[in-house]
Structure 1
Amino acid sequence: MSPLDRLGLSIPLIQAPMAGVSTPGMAANVSNAGALGSIAVGATDASGARAMIDAVRAGTDRPFNVNLFVHASPVADAVREAAWLDALQPLFTTYGAQPPSRLRTIYRSFADDPEMLAMLLDAAPPVISFHFGLPSAAAVAALKDRGILLIATATGLAEATAIAAAGIDLVVAQGFEEGGHRSMFDPDAADDELGTLAVTRLLVREGKLPVIAAGGIMDGAGIAAALALGAVAAQLGTAFIACPESAASFSYKERLFGSAAHHTTMTRLISGRPARVLANRFSALEAEIGERRPPDYPIAYDAGKALHAAASAAGEHDFGAHWAGQGAPLARAMPAAELVRTLTAELARVRTG
């Protein structure tokens, strides 16, 4: 029996936690429809996270997931950061703006945030998931003592082994097809770029935890395929971007249904970590930037957000962090609960032949 079974889901589906896209309303509606809704609080502080958790609870009495970033503390490098801003200066000038005078660490890692841990121990959401790494053994033990189900994401067997050793309950097998940030514990390490099929099957066969498959899954047939590989559930993110509850901008959703959806690409220029994005002017900078390396995540993201804001103010929306997986052309625009019901019906049709 998988630990996921204790949540009483009517479909083995998790709506991926997407910072800047998933909202408390989306999470509540997904959970009410029988799947596991998620919010991402890595881009806010303990107070903001508490407000989001309260908002989800106001909309549902069903289980939901709270996702945290556990990235390594960034190393500030004034020379490298100044060089990065110099490289971006011509773009800022094009849009009549100046780059920031200095770059900030805009997101605090959960590993460095005792206030967030204290809040979560008090709020005790049903499920907590980790991205980019793992918290301390003491934090894991404290959260488990509160009866919280814990999930962490792996891109390969070594990370999955570390996740199991840490006492986490389930592992997300993140395929290279997935949209948004790669969850590699070390973003500078070589990436084997395992696809969803391969990494899911590898972790099912060689790992020690129940596996949730993620990456490129957009419909009931994809969920069925993940289950056939031995996964206990599938996690879908890009499929929910076009929902009305999504916080994605109009231009983001518009691009999701345009030609860019057929040309997603990996880039680390936007945030400082590798992430899959709808091909846009930011990802196209790879050819121009050459070997120049952006600052550490999330310091580089401060520059990326500033450039996007400057371009948007001038009417250019093609520098956004439009994260999306390779299944983007399969996206559908419908309310989150309706999407869950559609996925449930599609999965049932596959299962019954």
Structure 2
Amino acid sequence: MNFLRWIDVELPIVQAPMAGVSTCEMAAAVSNAGGLGSIAVGSVDAAAARQMIAEVRARTQRPFNVNLFVHAPPASDATREAAWLKTLAPLFAELGAAPPSTLSAIYKSFVDDDDMLTTLVELAPPVVSFHFGLPGADRIAALKAAGCVLLSTATNLAEAEAASAAGIDAVVAQGFEAGGHRGMFDPSAPDDCLSTMALTRLLVKRSGLPVIAAGGIMDGRGIAAALDLGAVAAQLGTAFIACPESAADEAYRHALTGHGGWHTSMIAAISGRSARCLANRFTDWAAVNVDLAIPDYPIAYAAGKAIHAAAKAAGEYGFGAQWAGQGAPLARSMPAAELVATLEAELAAVNGRPFE
């Protein structure tokens, strides 16, 4: 069976679930336009997730995706966290602020979030996706029993094979070009840094799962290339940041096509896990301090968010988590539905016919 037809999606376009950027309005607009819209609930609790799912359902009758973070629960280390805050103290001082006195995990992993599981089983969103790893077999079984189609990010073949063995329905091949957090199951393992093109083709040939290509795809030609590699769809995140429905602030939007967009960096200093970000003052600082011991994700993120808040209060926007992929300069500012229509037209022009 055609995977897109199975989940009742008309176009091979998936809007990436970008925590802090994607919104319910955006997800619904993409779904209404024929793609698969997405919301990210990994950084919120079950009550907020319930509200977000209800809002999307109030805006669209079409399928949509709910994304979860499945990272290993962090190990708190007071000594390491205090040392990290001491390291950041000069940056806070430069911004006229003091660092937090302590750090703690700012949100839970789906690994042990029973309230989130209960909420999702009850509400049964059409599609549920996992980032950073896979939940336990009992959680996967519960979501499948509720009728949810399950997706998982994979950055290499071993992760895709694990997803297949666990009963995941399709895999998102996250190339190294992609913006935001690397979806590696084990962040301490070597990263092969596979490109979207190489990874997509490898997973199409070897994983046994439908593959959604992700990373650096910004237009219809990019989608066509992914489909030519055997992917069933392409996932775009950075392409939607400039849409008015995005939650990105004006500085973030402006930076997409500025210096930072041409020089994205993969760093861990902001959150505690490697993520691709627009080049800014924080990434420049991190590049010089690469050997520092960073607290576990998402404990380190509490400091990253605090320094960004202090910077914004001082009128400085160079310390934000401005996640973006290597195709950032190709971003276009238009409503999400218009962007989906534009992507569809571009894809049709490459194919010489509408997508079927």
CA distance in 1, matches of 2:154, 2:293: 24
Give the letter for the 1:270 counterpart. Answer: I
Q: Does 1:106 align with 2:115?
A: no
- Structure 1 130/329 Cα, relative in aligned 2: closer, same or farther at 3 Å? same
Q: CA deviation at 1:6?
A: 1.6
Which deviates more from structure 2 when the two are superposed, residues 341-350 or residues 255-264? 255-264
Give the letter for the 1:340 counterpart. Answer: V
TM-score normalised by L of structure 2: 0.98
Residue number in structure 1 paired with 2:197:
197
Residue number in structure 1 paired with 2:320:
320
Residues 9-24 of structure 1: matches in 2 within 5 Å? 9-24=9-24
Q: Does 1:147 align with 2:147?
A: yes
Contact 1:87 1:289 in 2 (8 A): no
CA distance in 1, matches of 2:161, 2:331: 33
Residues 166-205 of structure 1: matches in 2 within 5 Å? 166-205=166-205
CA distance in 2, matches of 1:92, 1:189: 32
Residue number in structure 1 paired with 2:296:
296
Residue number in structure 2 paired with 1:85:
85
Q: CA deviation at 1:67?
A: 0.2
CA distance in 1, matches of 2:346, 2:291: 45
- Structure 1 287/257 Cα, relative in aligned 2: closer, same or farther at 3 Å? closer
Task: Give deviations 1:207-259, integer Å, cap 9, x for gaps.
Answer: 11110000000000000000000000000000000000000111100111212
Residue number in structure 1 paired with 2:235:
235
Task: Give deviations 1:30-57, integer Å, cap 9, x for gaps.
Answer: 0000000000000100000000000000
- Structure 1 236/290 Cα, relative in aligned 2: closer, same or farther at 3 Å? closer
Contact 2:179 2:275 in 1 (8 A): yes
Residue number in structure 2 paired with 1:349:
349
Q: Does 1:334 align with 2:337?
A: no
Structure 2: 5+ residue stretches without partners = none
Give the letter for the 2:52 counterpart. Answer: M
Moved >3 Å (runs of 4+): none
Give the letter for the 2:227 counterpart. Answer: L
- Structure 1 215/287 Cα, relative in aligned 2: closer, same or farther at 3 Å? closer
Give the letter for the 2:320 counterpart. Answer: G
Residue number in structure 1 paired with 2:163:
163
Give the letter for the 1:306 counterpart. Answer: A
Q: CA deviation at 1:68?
A: 0.2
Matched position secondary structure for 1:52: helix
Contact 1:267 1:276 in 2 (8 A): yes
Task: Give deviations 1:9-38, integer Å, cap 9, x for gaps.
Answer: 221110000000000000000000000000
Residue number in structure 1 paired with 2:269:
269
Please provide the CA RMSD for this pair: 0.9
Aligned length: 353
CA distance in 1, matches of 2:202, 2:159: 12
Residues 57-68 of structure 1: matches in 2 within 5 Å? 57-68=57-68
CA distance in 1, matches of 2:283, 2:93: 19
- Structure 1 115/64 Cα, relative in aligned 2: closer, same or farther at 3 Å? same
Give the letter for the 1:138 counterpart. Answer: D
Matched position secondary structure for 2:111: helix
Residue number in structure 2 paired with 1:128:
128
Contact 1:3 1:169 in 2 (8 A): no
Q: CA deviation at 1:320?
A: 0.2
Matched position secondary structure for 1:38: strand
Give the letter for the 1:4 counterpart. Answer: L
CA distance in 2, matches of 1:292, 1:149: 40
CA distance in 2, matches of 1:2, 1:102: 51
Contact 1:282 1:319 in 2 (8 A): yes
CA distance in 2, matches of 1:100, 1:342: 45
CA distance in 2, matches of 1:174, 1:314: 35
Matched position secondary structure for 2:251: helix
Identity rate, percent = 67
Q: CA deviation at 1:71?
A: 0.3
Task: Give deviations 1:156-203, integer Å, cap 9, x for gaps.
Answer: 000000000000000000000000000001111100000000000000
CA distance in 1, matches of 2:287, 2:197: 30
CA distance in 2, matches of 1:231, 1:202: 11
Give the letter for the 2:238 counterpart. Answer: T
Q: CA deviation at 1:3?
A: 3.2
Q: CA deviation at 1:288?
A: 3.1
Matched position secondary structure for 2:108: coil
TM-score normalised by L of structure 1: 0.99
Q: CA deviation at 1:7?
A: 2.4
Matched position secondary structure for 1:47: helix
